[in-house]
Amino acid sequence: MECKLLTARLMSPIGQITIASCTRGVHKVDLQEPKDFSPDGRHKVDFVDGATEEQVNKCEPLAKCVDWIKAYFKDASSVRGLDLPPLHITKYKEGSFTAAVLHNLATKVDVGETVSYGQLAAMTGNARASRAVGGAMRANQTPLLVPCHRVVNSNGSVGNFMSGRGNVLKAWLLEHEAREER
């Protein structure tokens, strides 16, 4: 059975975010590639277009995702107490290494923390699979919810977020989370 997707586009401090969800769960969160990234310090998230607020509210996973993202940008530490919206990602085979990496990242690496590719590989049961963890990060369809921005190189550098085009976003997200920790 094919899912009927609803899409909501939000404007956030890091630019436009597009969320696609069916009634079973969120399929995708797209961050727009930054062109002239310069956040203005506002942590507000506004609807741009896509599904109306009424339609969003009728699709529980989409509504939960919008609420989660709004909370994250208002105060990153506030999402600690929130359940992640349900995810419905059929791209990853259940029980696969990629699915396990993404699950561990979403459930074990908290706001304000970072983990290296090697550490995440070890958490997933194969300490020598750091390159495969990099592949899992590239395959992540739900950034922010599955916080691939928290995965850094072993030397602490940010690595390549959005194939290197989003490194400035990754640095901002990490700073946003660190700022909320103070």
Residue 107 shares a structural domain with residue 177 = yes
Domain boundary residue, one of 81, 107, 140: 81
Query: Which has more confidence, 158 or 49?
Result: 158
pLDDT for the residue numbered 93: 76
Domain boundary residue, one of 26, 56, 81: 81
Residue 154 shares a structural domain with residue 102 = yes
Active site residue 148: yes
Residue 77 shares a structural domain with residue 102 = no
Q: Which residues contact 90 (CB under 8 A, 6 or more apart)?
A: none
Residue 165 shares a structural domain with residue 120 = yes
pLDDT for the residue numbered 165: 85
pTM above 0.85, yes or no: yes
Residue 143 sits in a domain whose CATH number is: 1.10.10.10
Residue 176 shares a structural domain with residue 116 = yes
Residue 140 shares a structural domain with residue 105 = yes
Residue 75 shares a structural domain with residue 107 = no
Q: Label residue 63 left, alpha or beta by phi (over 0 means left) and psi (-120 to 50 means alpha).
A: alpha
| Mean predicted confidence (pLDDT) in 86-112 | 90
DSSP codes joined into one string, 24-80: S-EEEEEEPPPSS----S----EEEEES-HHHHHHSHHHHHHHHHHHHHHH-GGGGG
Longest dimension (CA), the chain: 48
Residue 104 shares a structural domain with residue 131 = yes
Separation of alpha carbons 178 and 172, rounded Å: 10
Active-site residue identified among 22, 59, 65, 148: 148
Residue 112 shares a structural domain with residue 73 = no
Number of folded domains that form the chain: 2
Query: Is 140 within the bounds of a domain?
Result: yes
Confidence of residue 46 (pLDDT cuts 50, 70, 90): low
Residue 117 shares a structural domain with residue 167 = yes
- Which residue range is the domain that position 128 belongs to? 97-181
